[in-house]
Amino acid sequence: MSDKAVNNAPKLWAGRFSQETDALVHQFNASLSFDRRLWPYDIQGSLAHVKMLGKCGIIPAEDSQTIVAGLETLAADLETGTAALDPGAEDVHMAVESLLTQRLGPVAGKLHTARSRNDQVATDIRLYVKDALADLGGKAERVQSRLIELASQNLDTLLPGVTHMQHAQPVRLAHHLLAYFWMLSRDRERLVDAWKRTDMLPLGAGALAGTTFPIDRHFVAQELGFAGVVENSLDAVSDRDFAIETVSAVAILMMHLSRLSEELILWSSPEFGFVEMGDNVTTGSSIMPQKKNPDVAELLRGKTGRVYGDLTALLTIMKSLPLAYNKDMQEDKEPLFDALDTASISLSVLHTLLENIAFKIERMARALHGDFSTATDLADYLVRQGLPFRQAHEVVGKIVGRCVAEGRALEDLSADDLAEASPLFTGVDAPALISPRGSADARAAYGGTGKAAVEAQLERAQSWLEARRPAA
């Protein structure tokens, strides 16, 4: 086959043209290289469409049956690799139709009755996005389950909770991990939301204005599993808001993954030493023999930027486009697919990473020694004795200042030392008040880091997950 034949298959729209398309123009115009993955959805959409054409008497029932059978064998052959899309075709829709025509002859030409590539491509993408969203939901669920598992193993593990990256108050590791569980729960809700608005059929809009044939769009919607049909034909072919909403939800999801990744990167550094990643999920250095690098977590962090780029690309492609379809919209696919692919592998690899990490509980406990992270508890104690919080803050600030000057830790202070700072401390059980565990457990209010509160939270997380598990 000559290059020209590969690059420039006969066009199904060639009727009014007297010149062949310039090879470079063909290459520039073609989308098959990146829309080929839509073929199963393209065939699914065509099957529903042609059944409807037969049912409504728009084409003879026998023709409809012939085309249905042809599409079904074509799908099976493409699946097994017995058939292949012509790389010279302009796009996936043309490639599928050409194959069908080769097999069935002119009757295949009836498939495109009452349809345009504009409503066809919009349908294909929506079908694709619905599947991809369901896949992401399932993968996010696996990460959530793992987080719950790790949380239940670490109910009694304490570490310094930080604000501004400075030790603030002791928290349970379970509590910290569950924070990510809830982020992912909202991510999944956003994916479901995007799914709901994607779940509308554009097919039947024709090129833009609808069709002169007596089609039954609701039948097609039902065949394809759409909840309803897009009301307005112009809107149906010309909007990609469902793709933007999807990628937006995916970008937020990735933002969450990037934060967890960043923490795992920091925690695996020798300065923290809070976590050890398995050899199977880390990589070495080509020059420094001692290195064990958290590449997976770093890539998760990096790929988040890439997905933000996809979102920006989609928003920018769609900005200011006049109605209805414009070829600019062919550019929707690469960023959309890239974002979905990236999030899908990111969730899978994060799950693998979380299966292969060990928390260094001792290091976390040691990090709480002498870090003043229970200072708030001293102030809260004074408040319970009747001192206004601002004054209590001041008293404890002075205690901390003195400890720092003398090189002592809060936990070195005796009840007498405390009583010296304020008579309200007289007779206090200083170790209980100052210990990280006492501090954490004192935060018993709903949503706090106290043991009972975290146990209750863990149960609610489990119920959240159970309630959304698809019935088997």
Q: Which residues bind ligand ARG (CB under 6 A)?
A: 31, 35, 91, 117-118, 121, 325, 327, 329-330
Q: For ligand ARG, give the closer residue by CB, 170 or 335.
A: 335
Among residues 13 and 446, whose Cβ is nearest to ligand ARG?
A: 13
- Catalytic one of 26, 46, 116, 164: 164
CB of 43 to ligand ARG, least distance (A): 16
Other Cβ atoms closer than 10 A to 136: 24
Strands 228-229 and 200-201: parallel
Find the shortest distance in angstroms from Cβ 330 to ligand ARG: 4
* Closer residue to ligand ARG in complex, CB, 98/118: 118
Report in angstroms how near the CB of residue 372 gets to ligand ARG at its nearest: 60
Give the residue among 139, 126, 118, 104 at the shortest CA–CA distance from 38. Answer: 126
Q: Distance between CA 64 and CA 55 in Å, rounded?
A: 8
Separation of alpha carbons 469 and 144, rounded Å: 12
Contact (Cβ atoms closer than 8 angstroms) between residue 433 and residue 399: no
Is residue 369 within a helix (H) or strand (E), and if so which, with residue range?
A: none
CB 113, min distance to ligand ARG, A? 17
Q: CB 450 → ligand ARG: shortest distance, Å?
A: 55
Nearer to ligand ARG, 49 or 256 (CB): 49
- Distances in Å between the Cα of 373 and the Cα atoms of 164, 227, 266, 410 are 13, 53, 20, 9
Using the minimum distance from each CB to ligand ARG, give the nearer residue, 164 or 327.
327
Q: Evaluate the omega torsion of the peptide bond into residue 324 and state whether it is cis, within 30 degrees of 0.
A: yes
Instruction: Please report the beta strands in 151-198, taking only residues with DSSP state E, as ranges in sequence order.
Output: 158-163, 166-172
Contact 325, 333 (CB under 8 A): no
91 or 187: CB nearest ligand ARG: 91
**Nearest to residue 250, comparing CAs of 200, 167, 191?**
191
Instruction: Judge whether 176 counts as a catalytic residue.
Output: no
**Cβ-Cβ contacts under 8 Å for 172 (sequence gap 6 or more):** 154, 155, 156, 157, 158, 440, 449, 451, 454
Give the number of other CB atoms < 10 A from CB of residue 111: 25
Inter-residue contact 9 to 89 (CB < 8 Å): yes
**Between 329 and 396, whose beta carbon lies closer to ligand ARG?**
329
Assess whether 164 carries a catalytic annotation.
yes
We find the least distance from the C-beta atom of residue 93 to ligand ARG, in angstroms, to be: 6
| Closest CB 20 distance from ligand ARG, rounded Å | 18
Pick the catalytic residue: 46, 116, 238, 285?
285
Element (H, E) at 449: none
Query: Active-site positions?
Result: 164, 285
